[in-house]
Amino acid sequence: MEESKEIIKFVFDWSTFIACLAFFVAVHQAWISRKHNKLSVQPLIYDFMEEGDKWFTYSIRNKGHGVAKIESFKYHWAGQEITDEELRNKVNPYIKHKDHFKITNLGSGFGMSNDETFKLIDLTVVSDGISDIPTDRFKKIINLIVTNCRVEIKYKSLYNEEFSFETSTSAIDLSLYKVE
């Protein structure tokens, strides 16, 4: 009888130990899965410019794996925060009647899915007559935009992790946009 109590006690202690180990392994696995899930839905916003002879676009794209929830979107001009209307007014003196100039402000509370692209600045310069030289105007406008305009975006992932994006000039060769 005494022997059977010892056997039961020995088996019970080992089963408790194994159960505890299984519990800790399950908790660890859940933690790893959550961490992996966070990474698998992380947004990543980046910007790019496209340019032709008389057209220019400045766009952003979400190259991450999840939705970017835009919390704030701001334009800056020479270091000062400005509205999209103020940005338009900075460029309008160089815009002629036939030109196309569009500025997009994403605002806040906006969702940007992965691989989604938005044109923030879209410009096409068209000749307005014989005396108009659209190439010169185009260079002036691009010089203004590239050297002065910056974008700041604060956004969150689906797990409410906070991220931010700011335009950087380090990748832009500003000598290409100098007006002679």
Same domain for 49 and 25:
no
- How far is it, in rounded angstroms, from Cα 169 to Cα 180? 21
Burial class (CB in 10 A: 0-12, 13-18, 19+), 100: exposed
Placement of tokens 């007014």 in the chain: 89
Same domain for 74 and 18:
no
Same domain for 32 and 109:
no
Count of structural domains within the chain: 2
Same domain for 169 and 133:
yes
Q: Is the four-CA dihedral 35, 40, 45, 48 of positive or negative sign?
A: positive
149 and 89 in contact (C-beta within 8 Å)? no
**CB count in 10 Å sphere of residue 155:** 26
Same domain for 5 and 28:
yes
- Non-local (6+) Cβ contacts of 171 within 8 A are none
What is the pLDDT, as a whole number, of residue 170?
A: 46
**pLDDT tens-digit series, residues 110-154:** 899 999 999 999 999 888 777 777 788 888 888 888 888 999 999
**Statement: residue 8 has pLDDT above 80:** no
Q: 3-state DSSP call for residue 17?
A: helix
**pLDDT tens-digit series, residues 79-106:** 899 998 999 999 999 888 888 999 998 8
- Residue 4, φ and ψ in degrees, nearest 5: -65, -35
Same domain for 151 and 110:
yes
Query: Given pLDDT bands bounded at 50, 70 and 90, which one contains residue 1?
Result: low
Q: Residue 110 is part of a domain; what is its CATH number? A: 2.60.40
Helices (DSSP H) in the chain: which residue ranges? 2-40, 84-91, 134-148
**Secondary structure element (H or E) that encloses residue 176, with its range:** none
Q: 3-state DSSP call for residue 102?
A: strand
Q: What is the domain extent for residue 110?
A: 44-177
Amino acid at 42: Q
Average pLDDT of the chain, as a whole number? 83
Please name which of 92, 70, 89, 34 lies closest in space to residue 152, comparing C-alpha atoms: 70
Same domain for 53 and 5:
no
